Structure 1
Amino acid sequence: MREVAFIKQNKQKWLEFEQAIFGKTKKNPDELASLYIHLVNDLSFAQTYYPKSKSVIYLNNLAAHTYQKIYKTKREETNRVACFFKTEVPLIVYQNRRYILYAFILFFVFTAIGTISAVHDSSFVRLIMGDGYVNQTLKNIKEGNPVAVYKSGSNWGSAIGITLNNLKVGATSFILGISGGVGTAWILMQNAIMLGSFQYFFYEQNVFWASVRGIWIHGCMEIFAMVIEAGAGLIIGASILFPKTFSRVESLKTGFKNGLKIWASTLPFTFAAGMLEGFVTRYSPDMPIILNLFIIFSTLGVISWYYLVYPFWVNRKLRNTITAN
């Protein structure tokens, strides 16, 4: 069967699924389970005969939503918080992985712009960071402690202040997705350009590795979470611009709900980054380099695994469950 005929033959059934899953029509769990069996068969057929088709992506996403709907009651009987982080968020991240990818692409492009601008314009760093910060950092470099700025204030004061600021930036980036993603991209651009010019400044002063040893102790989780939050904002923007078969309002509701869950999942990482910056980063110059690297790579590894690897594992497990049933 040609793919066009396959889609035409099953389109009405899939639309019925969408209506049931996204709340436009009411079906009991038994009816959903019956529809689910048909959906699984269609997914298996599409995976076999049209493996690179968008139909496979569409049906896989629809199957994941159906699975969540059917087993909602079962999930609520278990630890809701554990289920949220263990299953719900990874599936949503997987279903919206293209927007996470777009956020990372924008982040790297804007960071490169910041770096290149600093390379070709010696005043650019001062424009971005401010004269006071640059002058103080130059003084710290001369005194042999490039990241001394992180020693200012008390441990708790620094940790709380930094965490609140990061929460504000992340929430703003997410909410501005309502602008069609433009506001989200703007916030990401500001922070990425600042990062690129900031790191080049240390490179220009021949203290790049000293800055890496300090900044990225907390920076891995802080920056990574910022990109994920931007991805959540882009999901809202896409739900407004590209509602697909849904009304724009219904699409926005779904996009906002999914984006909100992804944003909420970054909160533990944001808090952890704040604690590291307030309590650990200030001691980085006196640490053995092995400990520096261990903290940097372990924090990067944990958050990278959760958002870039684990969602694929959860989705594969779901597909195996679907096939088995």
Structure 2
Amino acid sequence: MREAAFVKQNKDKWLRFESVLSNNTTIDPDELSDLYIEITDHLSFAKTFYAKSNTEHYLNQLASQAHQKIYKTKKESKNRLISFFKTEFPLLFYYHQRELLVSFLVFSLFVIVGAYSAATEVDFVRSILGDAYVNMTLENIENNDPMAVYKKMGEFNMFLGITINNIKVALMAFAYGILCGIGSLFIMLQNGIMLGSFQYFFYEKGLLWESVRTIWIHGTFEISVIIIAGCSGLVLGNGMLFTGTYTRLESFKRGVINGLKILISTIPFFIIAGFLEGFVTRHTEMPDWLAILIIAGSLSIIIFYYVIYPRQLHKKQNLISNKSN
């Protein structure tokens, strides 16, 4: 059966089931269980014949929501946030690894462009970072404290200011996705060039390692989630461009919702990045091994949560679905 025919044949059932879940309608548990079994049957069929399609994604979300509703407890409302980060979001993000890869590759490309431009154009770094910042950093280097910029503000004020600023950048990366995703890629371009020129500036001064072991204490989380925010904008843009079996409006709504969920997932990491920049990065006297441990730990958390864990959870859910069938 062609996918369009399969959707047409079962769409009314799915919409009714989705309405029951979305509106928290109270129905007989046995009836809900029967509906759940039917949905998982359809999901199994879609996985077999329409793998990686929007139909499979939609049914997978329905099945996940139904499972949560059937087995919910009185503490469910308190655990909603935990459930989002533990189950709902990772299952969703499994289907958006491609957008994450595109965001990462574009960002990385323009890091290289930024570094190359800084190496070949004398005033490029000043045009990107500004004269005030460059002059201040040169003065700090002369005073044998090149990372002094992270010590000028109070810990809490820096933490708060940096966190708010980073969340603003993430919101822009998402919102600009409305421009068919191009706006989000532009934000990746801007930040990539800035990072590349910034790192080359310290390399040119013979301070590459000093900058890396200091800046990436907070930068690992910060840069990673900016890239993920770019991914959220691409999801929004894709919802407008690639409708699949949905109407353009339905596809756009799904793009907005899924993009927002991805954006929301970054907030805790932005807070952690802000905390590290405000309270930890300033301690430039810390031993290299400790800085490396923080950087490696941060990178491991990001890779696990956004790449490995969604795959593990998706695989686990497939096994559960197959057993129930």
Check whether TM > 0.5. Answer: yes
Q: Does 1:155 align with 2:155?
A: yes
User: What's the offset of the Cα at 1:280?
Assistant: 0.5
Matched-pair contact (CA < 8 Å) for 1:17–1:35: no
Q: Distance in 2 between matches of 1:317 and 1:116?
A: 44
Q: Does 1:244 align with 2:244?
A: yes
- In structure 2, the partner of 1:73 is 69
User: What's the offset of the Cα at 1:61?
Assistant: 2.1
User: SS where residue 71 of structure 1 aligns?
Assistant: helix
User: SS where residue 266 of structure 1 aligns?
Assistant: helix
User: What's the offset of the Cα at 1:62?
Assistant: 3.7
User: SS where residue 35 of structure 1 aligns?
Assistant: helix
- In structure 2, the partner of 1:57 is 52
- Write out per-residue CA displacement over residues 105-128 of structure 1, whole angstroms, 9 at most, x where no aligned residue: 111112111111112112111110
In the TM superposition, what are the counterparts of 1:115-154 in structure 2 within 5 Å?
A: 115-154=115-154
User: What's the offset of the Cα at 1:63?
Assistant: 3.9
Q: Does 1:276 align with 2:284?
A: no
User: SS where residue 146 of structure 1 aligns?
Assistant: coil
- In structure 1, the partner of 2:45 is 42
- In structure 2, the partner of 1:51 is none
Question: Which moved further from structure 2: 219-228 or 92-101?
Answer: 92-101
Question: Which moved further from structure 2: 140-149 or 209-218?
Answer: 140-149
Change (3 A) 1:14 1:66: same
Q: Distance in 2 between matches of 1:252 and 1:9?
A: 22
- In structure 2, the partner of 1:29 is 32
Matched-pair contact (CA < 8 Å) for 2:221–2:302: yes
User: What's the offset of the Cα at 1:36?
Assistant: 2.1
- In structure 1, the partner of 2:198 is 198
Match for 1:223: what amino acid?
I
- In structure 2, the partner of 1:97 is 97
- In structure 2, the partner of 1:259 is 259
Q: Distance in 2 between matches of 1:273 and 1:41?
A: 40
Question: Which moved further from structure 2: 56-65 or 190-199?
Answer: 56-65
Q: Distance in 1 between matches of 2:298 and 2:89?
A: 19
Q: Distance in 2 between matches of 1:242 and 1:8?
A: 15
Q: Distance in 1 between matches of 2:246 and 2:19?
A: 11
Change (3 A) 1:299 1:41: closer
Matched-pair contact (CA < 8 Å) for 2:21–2:69: no
User: What's the offset of the Cα at 1:71?
Assistant: 2.1
Matched-pair contact (CA < 8 Å) for 1:170–1:229: yes
Change (3 A) 1:143 1:74: farther
Change (3 A) 1:302 1:34: closer
For structure 2, the 5+ residue unaligned runs are 26-30
User: What's the offset of the Cα at 1:74?
Assistant: 4.2
For structure 1, the 5+ residue unaligned runs are 47-54
Q: Distance in 2 between matches of 1:34 and 1:13?
A: 17
User: What's the offset of the Cα at 1:155?
Assistant: 0.7
Matched-pair contact (CA < 8 Å) for 2:118–2:125: yes
Q: Does 1:184 align with 2:184?
A: yes
- Write out per-residue CA displacement over residues 63-95 of structure 1, whole angstroms, 9 at most, x where no aligned residue: 421212312424753311111000011011101
Change (3 A) 1:315 1:14: farther
Q: Distance in 2 between matches of 1:143 and 1:104?
A: 36
Match for 2:289: what amino acid?
I
- Write out per-residue CA displacement over residues 218-249 of structure 1, whole angstroms, 9 at most, x where no aligned residue: 00000001010110111111101112221222
Change (3 A) 1:134 1:75: farther
Change (3 A) 1:34 1:298: closer
- In structure 2, the partner of 1:235 is 235
Say how many residue pairs are matched: 312
Match for 1:156: what amino acid?
F
Match for 1:35: what amino acid?
E
- In structure 2, the partner of 1:294 is 293
Matched-pair contact (CA < 8 Å) for 2:36–2:67: no
- Write out per-residue CA displacement over residues 137-162 of structure 1, whole angstroms, 9 at most, x where no aligned residue: 11212222221111111111111111
Matched-pair contact (CA < 8 Å) for 1:225–1:270: yes
RMSD of the TM alignment (CA)? Answer: 2.4
Q: Does 1:314 align with 2:310?
A: no
Q: Distance in 2 between matches of 1:152 and 1:25?
A: 52
Percent identical: 38
